[in-house]
């Protein structure tokens, strides 16, 4: 028997306590003869009294020949159960016993109500708070059928009687081995140098640890500040290097309050995007010099996209102005070349028609459009002599950063050479005996 799709719904009563309002499950079993049995069980609790629970079970038996037998079992809040149209109660009883932890009566028939009186093997016991309280002041106690009195306890666990007999100091007093008391030389002054040494070492260790932590905090703050400066300059590779130092120092200091939102991973990714943008800028220059303005326009678009991603992941300023301007000029160059191609087609048509003047005019127009395309191509050529320039796209490169933390320069603020042993000896103030 397998339980599938079991669900439980809870609700909150008026007094604030949470109770199980409904439980639903589907139980399935396949008999040896191939009969498939499915039991759909739902139990619900009364919202006014959650201890009152009602159950409803629908059992569907499908024989190998397709015949279905449906059995309805309803359990009321008072414990009675009604069974209808049961042809084979073996599985119904098995499900009922599994759910309610009791046995269904063997004398149940279709439509008969089974009450609590029919279930002789089920015993309901109400346990009150007083039942669970152990009476510890009773003299006698019972284990099974045996009654024990406190007088029968073993003597080794009985209480030891308390007597009022006075203490006799002469009772079993051992004789001293020596009859004379040894003379104590009080001139010996014990010192506490060992304790003082331990205290000094402890203070020095704590001071050193605190000073080292503060040095790591300062080093992390310095590195983060440098990372922010590199970001402002557009040098994301150097910013990633400085940020990594800041993260390592903050970990050593167990303090990350000085770190900003963009971590070393973000900045490294941004630096990679900058390298991609530089690659497309180089491709744009090559294609522009070849007169392939359409390819150069695509390169400018890619350069702008990579630059935008770099700025986004580093949290830096927008540096896409240069690539956008180059894209605009390359787009104009491509448009002019399109007009040139139209003029060339017109010139060929006029020539075929024998209109030489019109053909020549179209050729002149085509040459003008090509000149315009080259003009825009020169403006859009990245790094070209006549190229457009956007100062907002300037970025720094090649920066590096090293940690400012120096363990040898950490000042613990503790001077172990100071004499702290003053008044550290003991003098009894008495003469020798």
Which region holds residue 291: left if phi is over 0, alpha if psi is between -120 and 50, else beta?
left
Give the whole-angstrom CA distance, residue 167 versus residue 175. 19
Around Cβ 243, how many Cβ atoms within 10 Å?
A: 29
Buried/exposed code over 16-44 (b: 16+ C-beta within 10 A; e: otherwise): eeeeebebebebeeeeeeebebebebebb
Give the whole-angstrom CA distance, residue 93 versus residue 29. 13
Contacts of 432 (CB under 8 A, 6+ apart): 183, 185, 186, 187
Give the whole-angstrom CA distance, residue 304 versus residue 311. 11
- The whole-number pLDDT of residue 262 equals 97
Longest dimension (CA), the chain: 154
Contact 91, 61 (CB under 8 A): yes
Give the whole-angstrom CA distance, residue 297 versus residue 330. 5
- The whole-number pLDDT of residue 178 equals 41
- Which H or E element spans position 143? strand 141-143
**In sequence order, which ranges of 290-355 are alpha helices (DSSP H)?**
293-314, 321-352
- The whole-number pLDDT of residue 79 equals 75
Q: Which has the closest alpha carbon to 30: 59, 56, 62, 4?
A: 62
Give the whole-angstrom CA distance, residue 346 versus residue 358. 8
**Displacement of CA 205 from its chain's centroid (Å):** 36
User: Which residues lie across from 425 on neighbouring strands?
Assistant: 191
Q: Which residues of the chain have pLDDT under 70?
A: 1-2, 85-202, 407, 409-433
- The whole-number pLDDT of residue 424 equals 39
Contacts of 228 (CB under 8 A, 6+ apart): 239, 260
Contacts of 238 (CB under 8 A, 6+ apart): 230, 396, 398, 399, 400, 401
* Burial grade of 256 (CB within 10 A; 0-12, 13-18, 19 or more): middle
- The whole-number pLDDT of residue 150 equals 43
- The whole-number pLDDT of residue 25 equals 83
Which tokens is 179 given?
A: 């009859």
- The whole-number pLDDT of residue 389 equals 97
Contacts of 121 (CB under 8 A, 6+ apart): 102, 103
- The whole-number pLDDT of residue 92 equals 55
Matching residue, tokens 């308390």: 162
- The whole-number pLDDT of residue 395 equals 97
The 3-class SS string of 240-302 reads HHHHHHHHHHHHHHCCCCCCCCCCHHHHHHHHHHHHHHHHHHHHHHHHHHCCCHHHHHHHHHH
Contact 91, 39 (CB under 8 A): yes
Give the whole-angstrom CA distance, residue 286 versus residue 49. 84
Q: Which has the closest alpha carbon to 263: 319, 316, 318, 313?
A: 313
- The whole-number pLDDT of residue 93 equals 58
Give the whole-angstrom CA distance, residue 414 versus residue 405. 20
């Amino acid at each position: 028997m397998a339980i599938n799709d079991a669900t439980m719904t809870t609700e909150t009563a008026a007094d604030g306590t949470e109770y199980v309002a409904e439980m639903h499950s589907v139980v399935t079993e396949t008999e040896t003869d191939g009969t498939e049995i499915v039991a759909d069980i739902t139990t619900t609790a009364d919202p006014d009294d959650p201890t009152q629970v009602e159950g409803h079970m629908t059992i569907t038996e499908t024989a190998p020949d397709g015949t279905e037998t449906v059995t309805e079992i309803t359990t009321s809040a008072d414990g009675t159960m009604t069974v209808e149209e049961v042809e084979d109660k073996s599985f119904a009883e098995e499900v009922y016993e599994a759910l309610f932890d009791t046995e269904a009566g063997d004398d149940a028939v279709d439509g008969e109500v089974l009450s609590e009186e029919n279930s002789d093997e089920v015993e309901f016991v109400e346990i009150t708070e007083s039942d669970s309280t152990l009476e510890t002041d009773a003299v006698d106690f019972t284990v099974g059928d045996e009654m024990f009195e406190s007088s029968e306890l073993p003597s080794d666990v009985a209480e030891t009687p308390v007597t009022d007999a006075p203490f006799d100091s002469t009772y079993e007093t051992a004789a001293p081995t020596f009859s004379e008391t040894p003379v104590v030389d009080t001139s010996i002054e014990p010192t506490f140098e060992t304790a003082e040494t331990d205290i000094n070492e402890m203070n020095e260790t704590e001071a050193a640890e605190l000073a080292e932590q503060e040095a790591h905090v300062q080093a992390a703050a310095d590195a983060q500040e440098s990372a922010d400066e590199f970001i402002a300059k557009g040098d994301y590779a150097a910013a990633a290097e400085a940020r990594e130092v800041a993260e390592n120092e903050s970990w050593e200091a167990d303090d990350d309050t000085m770190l900003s939102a963009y971590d070393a991973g973000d900045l490294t990714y941004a630096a990679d995007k900058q390298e991609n943008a530089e690659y497309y800028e180089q491709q744009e220059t090559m294609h522009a010099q070849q007169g392939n303005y359409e390819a150069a326009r695509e390169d400018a678009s890619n350069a702008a996209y990579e630059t935008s991603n770099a700025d986004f992941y580093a949290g830096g300023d927008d540096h896409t102005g240069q690539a956008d301007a180059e894209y605009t000029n390359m787009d104009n160059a491509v448009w002019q070349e399109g007009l040139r191609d139209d003029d060339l087609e017109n010139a060929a048509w006029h020539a075929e028609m024998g209109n030489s003047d019109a053909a020549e005019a179209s050729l002149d127009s085509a040459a003008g459009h090509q000149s315009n395309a080259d003009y825009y191509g020169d403006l859009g050529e990245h790094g070209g002599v006549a190229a457009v320039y956007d100062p907002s796209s300037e970025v720094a490169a090649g920066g590096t950063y090293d940690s400012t933390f120096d363990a040898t320069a950490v000042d613990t603020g503790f001077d172990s050479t100071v004499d702290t042993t003053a008044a550290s000896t003991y003098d009894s103030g008495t003469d020798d005996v």
